[in-house]
């Protein structure tokens, strides 16, 4: 079974997410990819991977991914988030982190952990 991976990146980390996807394109192309709006659009356009896009994070995309986790439609979350920058939708970010923990979903919140997860695919 192909893994279903959600990809999310805060604004100042989106370029890093795009580069990470380029670096791991051979493994990611065998997966079903989901992403929040802008992140998914950039990955699709700049990397050439098919991505199902949800709404932008602040407009409910984080919550849509959380729903996908609780409904068993997402297996892994790669979330490049910036813990030092203020985010108006911080409660949504915390809810996503919580739901991934509750459902025992592997979740990378930084480059090092994302690399470990993708290497295990």
Active site residues: 62
Strand blocks (E) in 22-113 = 32-35, 51-53, 76-80, 107-108
Phi (first) and psi of residue 4, to 5 degrees:
-105, 110
From residue 106, how far is each of 21, 48, 55, 61, 111 by CA, in Å? Answer: 17, 25, 22, 19, 14
Closest CA to 53 of 77, 78, 35, 30: 35
The H or E element that residue 90 is part of is: helix 90-102
């Amino acid at each position: 079974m192909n893994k279903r991976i959600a990809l999310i990146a805060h604004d100042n980390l989106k370029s890093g997410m795009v580069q990470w996807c380029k670096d791991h394109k051979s493994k990611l192309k065998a997966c079903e990819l989901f992403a929040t709006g802008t992140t998914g659009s950039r990955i699709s356009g700049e990397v050439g991977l098919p991505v199902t896009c949800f709404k932008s994070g602040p407009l409910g995309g984080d919550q849509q991914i959380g729903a996908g986790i609780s409904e068993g439609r997402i297996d892994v979350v790669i979330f490049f988030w910036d813990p030092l920058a203020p985010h108006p939708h911080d409660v949504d970010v915390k809810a996503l982190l919580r739901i991934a923990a509750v459902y025992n979903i592997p979740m990378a919140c930084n480059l090092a952990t994302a690399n470990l997860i993708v290497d295990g695919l």
